[in-house]
């Protein structure tokens, strides 16, 4: 059975060791080493489109390749400053999940939580990245906790964020990512109604053809992950809901 490691990154840059939320930071030095590691050891870095084909269309059972998908949540400006130049060097595809109501602004939901709110990608940079092959998905309009919201708010966050990004980018937005990994039945139904092809959670593990495409698990790469930790994450198979989902 095809297994795909969908890796979850948030901020890439130069950071001192964070006291909290370590899974939302990756030092550029480590990121460079991780991307080189994938190349040296023959991992196949594929896009989300290719991953969905490998999971749900291709004949199952014969695939021995180790597929990896790179995803970046929240659309931080440091993606273009730090991560993208490294991705380009290796020609790796990647998907960035944008908060559609905060394009060109700051990560307000972090400020609301008393945390530092970094700059988010602006529209011109997003368009330039798209021209360079980066895929964008929706991460809602305002990055709320989706569970427990009323239907019209869910509609705005899940359906309107899709159409608003489609207007900005001039192409279909096929992928959704649940903020803080939170979802329930009403949320997933709204994601289905919106017409997304796939949606990504913070549930931990490798994605397989047994997974609902609207509930794909991922593997969070944390600030503290050495290359040994990285290797372990690439090869872990268990699927387990996180005790405390990444909250950025
Ligand atoms: Zn997020």
**What total number of domains does the chain contain?**
1
Question: What is the phi/psi pair of residue 33, to 5°?
Answer: -65, -40
- Is residue 126 included in any domain, yes or no? yes
Question: What is the phi/psi pair of residue 170, to 5°?
Answer: 70, 25
Helix ranges (H only) for 15-114 are: 28-40, 48-56, 77-78, 84-90, 108-112
- Is residue 244 included in any domain, yes or no? no
- Is residue 108 included in any domain, yes or no? yes
Return the exposure string of 144-177: e unless at least 16 CB atoms fall within 10 Å of the residue's CB, then b. Answer: bebeebeeeebebbbbbbbebbeebbeeebbbbb
- Is residue 17 included in any domain, yes or no? yes
| Domain hosting residue 204, numbered range | 3-235
Q: How far is the CA of 132 from the centre of ligand 1 (A)?
A: 23
Q: How far is the CA of 40 from the centre of ligand 1 (A)?
A: 30
Q: Which residue has the tokens 């440091």?
A: 78
pLDDT tens, per residue, the chain with 248 residues: 889 999 999 999 999 888 888 889 999 999 999 999 999 999 999 999 999 999 998 665 556 679 999 999 999 999 999 999 999 999 999 999 999 999 999 999 999 999 999 999 999 999 999 999 999 999 999 999 999 999 999 999 999 999 999 999 999 999 999 999 999 999 999 999 999 999 999 999 999 999 999 999 999 999 989 999 999 999 887 665 444 444 44
Q: How far is the CA of 101 from the centre of ligand 1 (A)?
A: 13
What pLDDT is attached to residue 243?
42
Q: How far is the CA of 143 from the centre of ligand 1 (A)?
A: 6
pTM value is 0.93
Closest CA to 30 of 233, 237, 181: 233
- Is residue 147 included in any domain, yes or no? yes
User: What is the token pair recorded at 82?
Assistant: 């730090």
- Is residue 243 included in any domain, yes or no? no
Question: Residue 10 sits in a domain of what CATH number?
Answer: 3.20.20.370
Q: Which residue has the tokens 């895929």?
A: 135
Q: How far is the CA of 139 from the centre of ligand 1 (A)?
A: 7
What pLDDT is attached to residue 58?
65
- Is residue 248 included in any domain, yes or no? no
């Amino acid at each position: 059975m095809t297994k795909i490691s969908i890796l979850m990154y948030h901020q890439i840059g130069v950071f001192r060791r964070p006291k909290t939320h370590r899974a939302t930071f990756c030092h550029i030095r480590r990121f460079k080493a991780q991307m080189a590691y994938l190349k040296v050891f023959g991992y196949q870095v594929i896009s989300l489109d290719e991953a969905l084909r490998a999971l749900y269309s291709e004949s199952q059972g014969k695939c021995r390749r180790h597929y990896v998908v790179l995803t970046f949540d929240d659309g931080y400006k440091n993606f273009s400053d730090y991560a993208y130049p490294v991705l380009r060097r290796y020609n790796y595809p990647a998907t960035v999940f944008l908060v559609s109501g905060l394009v060109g602004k700051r990560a307000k939901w972090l400020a609301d939580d008393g945390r530092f709110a970094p700059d988010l990608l602006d529209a011109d940079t997003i368009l330039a990245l798209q021209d360079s092959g980066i895929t964008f998905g929706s991460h809602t309009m305002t990055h709320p906790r989706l569970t427990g919201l009323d239907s019209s708010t869910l509609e705005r966050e899940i359906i309107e964020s899709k159409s608003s990004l489609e207007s900005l980018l001039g192409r279909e937005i096929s992928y959704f990512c649940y903020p803080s990994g939170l979802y329930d039945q009403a949320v997933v139904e709204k994601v289905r109604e919106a017409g997304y092809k796939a949606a990504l959670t913070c549930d931990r593990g490798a994605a397989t053809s047994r997974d609902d495409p609207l509930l794909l698990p991922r593997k969070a790469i944390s600030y503290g992950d050495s290359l040994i930790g990285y290797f372990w994450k690439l090869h872990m198979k268990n699927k387990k809901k996180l005790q405390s989902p990444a909250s950025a």
